[in-house]
Structure 1
Amino acid sequence: MGSHVSKQVERRKSIQTEKKVLFDMKQSNGSEYPGSDYHPSDRKNWMSGLNPDKVQINQIVWPGTHDSATNKIGFPFVTRPFAQCQSLSIYQQLVTGARVLDIRVQEDRRVCHGILVTYSVDIVIEHVKKFLSETHSEVIILEIRTEFGHDDPPDFDKYLEDQLGEYLIQQDDQVFGKKISELLPKRVICVWKPRKSPQPKAGGLLWNSGHLKDNWIDTDLPSTKFENNMKHLGELQPVTSRKFFYRVENTVTPQADNPILCVKPVTDRIRPYARVFISQCFSQNIVDRLQIFSTDFIDGDFVDACAGLTKARSEGKA
């Protein structure tokens, strides 16, 4: 019992120390960078506002959401706080400016996060199509994967093609160097990551797992995650030399050996430091590697941070 208490005391000290590291970094180095003062007048159409004839796909800093479809997961006030990573619906996230969705499914096509489940993926598709019908030049990366420990939904590739076919951007490495306007009216890059079923084939309507990569660091320590994100990003080639999307997740995750297991208070240890991360990318000369930047509980400021850097890139300022 005593050793357990001692361990928890040390854990709390580590967390407080790491929170202070990020706070001090923000105080001393700031969170400004080329484009940081930009705020889209219409986040629902922020890509359109940057001129689709001018912006290349590999210039976009894509604001994404982590565990996107968890706004209604589990039971309110009981299990939901342990698995909810977003409070907004899929449609609301897209209207707020999110352009990358992270959807986890199980065999019956219901969205899940670990053992907790929520609505059918049909709801996700419905919200995506509603948003697409109301906009004209916004491009979305829709990543759908079978959650760890679950089986793939049967014939799920056919389901996605049937539901989104008119919007799907064909898997093609040339897409990265194209301007948004060159892809229209197609609007969705759909990455399907099954666990056991065959991966999508080259040239098809769906993209395979090799086209969206990340280095997930499972920790609740904020500066540890921040520094590891920076390290892995620095090991990559610039976006202009890559034929895959790379995601950095500005999140930390509750750990079983820590008494605080609710997502919100844990992920809030790092969530306010998204702009600091971008600023540090400039300081370390690796901002040309940043591409997808994801968060829990997305808000307008996070979107503005990504849109501003995208604007700076399109103007040759970053």
Structure 2
Amino acid sequence: MGAHVSKQVERRKAISTEKKTLVELKQTVGSHYPGSDYHPPDRKNWMSGLDPDRIRINQIVWPGTHDSATNKIGIPLVTRPFAQCQSLSIYEQLKTGARVLDIRVQEDRRVCHGILLSYGVDVVIGDLKRFLEETDSEIVILEIRTEFGHEDPPDFDRYLEDQLGEFLIHQDDQVFSKTISDLLPKRVICVWKPRKTPQPKPGGPLWGSGYLKDNWIDTDLPSTKFESNMKHLGEQQPAANRKYFYRVENTVTPQADNPVLCVKPVTDRIRDYARMFIAQSFARGFADRLQIFSTDFIDEDFVDACVGLTSARVEGKA
């Protein structure tokens, strides 16, 4: 018992120290970078506002959501706080400005997060199609993966093609250097990541797992995650030279050995430092490598942070 209490005391000290580290770094370096003052007049149509004829796919800093379809996961007030990473529906996230969705599914096509379940993936597809029908030039990256510990839904690739066929941008390495206008009327880059069934075929309507990469570390320590994100970003090539999307997730994750197990208070340890992360990527010389930037509980300021840098790139200021 005494050893457990001692361990918990040390964990609390480590978290407190790391939170203080980020606060002091922000006070020292700030959160300003090219485009940081930009606010899109219409977040629902922010790509249209930056001119689809000019903006290339590899110039975009894509605002993304982590565990996107968890707004109704589990049982309210019982299990939901332990797995909910977003409070908005998929449609509301897209309307707010998110352009990358992270969807986890299990055998019966229901969305899940670990052992907890949510609605069927049809709800995700319905919200996405509603958004696409209400907009003209917004491109969305839809990542769907089979959750760890689960089996792939049967014939899921065929299901995705049937549901989204008219919108799907086929896998093609040339896509990265094209403008949004070059790709229209196609609107969705769908990355399907099965666990056991074959990966999507080259040139087909779905993109394989190698086209969306990240370096996830499972920690609830905010400065540790911040510096890990920075380290791995620095190891990437500039976005203009890559033939895949690279994601940085501005999140930390509850740990089983810590008494704070609810997602919101844990991820809030790092959530407010998204702008500082972008500013630090400039200070450390690799802002040109930032591409997909994801968060829990997405809000307008996070979207503006990403769109602002995208605007600066299009204008040749970054």
Q: Pick the TM interval, shorter chain.
A: over 0.9
2:14 matched residue in structure 1? 14
Q: Cα distance, 1:296 vs. partner?
A: 0.1
SS of 2:102's partner is strand
Structure 1 residues 11-160: aligned runs within 5 Å:
11-160=11-160
* 1:206-257 deviation per Cα after TM superposition (whole angstroms, max 9, x unaligned): 0000000000010000000000000000001000110000000000000000
How many residue pairs get matched?
318
Q: Cα distance, 1:93 vs. partner?
A: 0.2
2:211 matched residue in structure 1? 211
- Alignment-mate amino acid for residue 158 of structure 2: K
Q: Cα distance, 1:290 vs. partner?
A: 0.3
Q: Cα distance, 1:144 vs. partner?
A: 0.1
RMSD: 0.3
Q: Cα distance, 1:192 vs. partner?
A: 0.1
1:175 matched residue in structure 2? 175
SS of 1:216's partner is coil
SS of 1:248's partner is strand
TM-score, normalisation: structure 1: 1.00
SS of 1:128's partner is helix
- Alignment-mate amino acid for residue 300 of structure 1: E
SS of 2:197's partner is coil
In structure 1, how many angstroms separate the alpha carbons of the residues matched to 2:34 and 2:236?
22
SS of 1:162's partner is helix
In structure 2, how many angstroms separate the alpha carbons of the residues matched to 1:311 and 1:263?
32
2:192 matched residue in structure 1? 192
SS of 2:160's partner is helix
Q: Cα distance, 1:182 vs. partner?
A: 0.3
In structure 2, how many angstroms separate the alpha carbons of the residues matched to 1:243 and 1:121?
28
- Alignment-mate amino acid for residue 153 of structure 1: P
SS of 1:268's partner is helix
Q: Cα distance, 1:106 vs. partner?
A: 0.1
SS of 2:76's partner is coil
- Alignment-mate amino acid for residue 62 of structure 2: W
Q: Unpaired segments of 5 or more residues in structure 1?
A: none
- Alignment-mate amino acid for residue 241 of structure 1: N
Q: Unpaired segments of 5 or more residues in structure 2?
A: none
- Alignment-mate amino acid for residue 30 of structure 1: G
- Alignment-mate amino acid for residue 187 of structure 1: R
Q: Cα distance, 1:135 vs. partner?
A: 0.2
In structure 2, how many angstroms separate the alpha carbons of the residues matched to 1:201 and 1:235?
28
1:221 matched residue in structure 2? 221
SS of 1:298's partner is coil
1:201 matched residue in structure 2? 201
In structure 1, how many angstroms separate the alpha carbons of the residues matched to 2:59 and 2:211?
16
Q: Cα distance, 1:134 vs. partner?
A: 0.2
* 1:134-190 deviation per Cα after TM superposition (whole angstroms, max 9, x unaligned): 000000000000000000000000000000000000000000000010000000000
SS of 1:313's partner is helix
In structure 1, how many angstroms separate the alpha carbons of the residues matched to 2:279 and 2:25?
10
1:302 aligns with 2:294: no
Q: Cα distance, 1:32 vs. partner?
A: 0.4
- Alignment-mate amino acid for residue 193 of structure 2: K
Q: Cα distance, 1:118 vs. partner?
A: 0.5
SS of 1:63's partner is strand
Which structure 1 residue ranges, 4+ long, deviate > 6 Å from structure 2? Answer: none
In structure 2, how many angstroms separate the alpha carbons of the residues matched to 1:35 and 1:126?
33
Q: Cα distance, 1:266 vs. partner?
A: 0.0
1:3 aligns with 2:3: yes
1:259 matched residue in structure 2? 259
Q: Cα distance, 1:30 vs. partner?
A: 0.3
Structure 1 residues 275-294: aligned runs within 5 Å:
275-294=275-294
SS of 2:273's partner is helix
In structure 1, how many angstroms separate the alpha carbons of the residues matched to 2:241 and 2:133?
33
- Alignment-mate amino acid for residue 258 of structure 2: N
In structure 2, how many angstroms separate the alpha carbons of the residues matched to 1:230 and 1:238?
14
In structure 1, how many angstroms separate the alpha carbons of the residues matched to 2:20 and 2:48?
39
Q: Cα distance, 1:200 vs. partner?
A: 0.1
